[in-house]
Amino acid sequence: MFAPAPDAVAAVRAWLEESGIHGVSQSVNKQWLQFDTAVENLEALFKTQYHEFVHEATGGVHVACDE
């Protein structure tokens, strides 16, 4: 129901492969593409910078970007 069109998935997979991201798989529910890579690769790919944010009350750490 919420899965992207196969041609959209193929286009994103191709873009990731061309960018040096390999081992891309699709989640069972078809809503996500998943892969492992270094944060430096993501920062270059998405033109952003990731940070660790710490929740003051719990001390829990969350990785995210400002933009």
The per-residue pLDDT for 67 is: 79
Same domain, 24 and 42: no
**Three-state secondary structure call for residue 33:** strand
The per-residue pLDDT for 55 is: 93
Q: Mean pLDDT in runs of 10 for the chain (67 residues)?
A: 90 96 94 94 94 94 89
Same domain, 49 and 32: no
Judging by beta carbons within 10 Å of its beta carbon (0-12, 13-18, 19+), is residue 24 exposed, middle or buried?
A: middle
Same domain, 59 and 28: no
Residue 14 is part of which domain span?
1-36
Which H or E run includes 27? none
Same domain, 54 and 29: no
The per-residue pLDDT for 58 is: 95
The per-residue pLDDT for 54 is: 94
Same domain, 13 and 42: no
Same domain, 11 and 27: yes
CA distance 12 to 5: 11
Place of tokens 């970007």: 65
Same domain, 3 and 32: yes
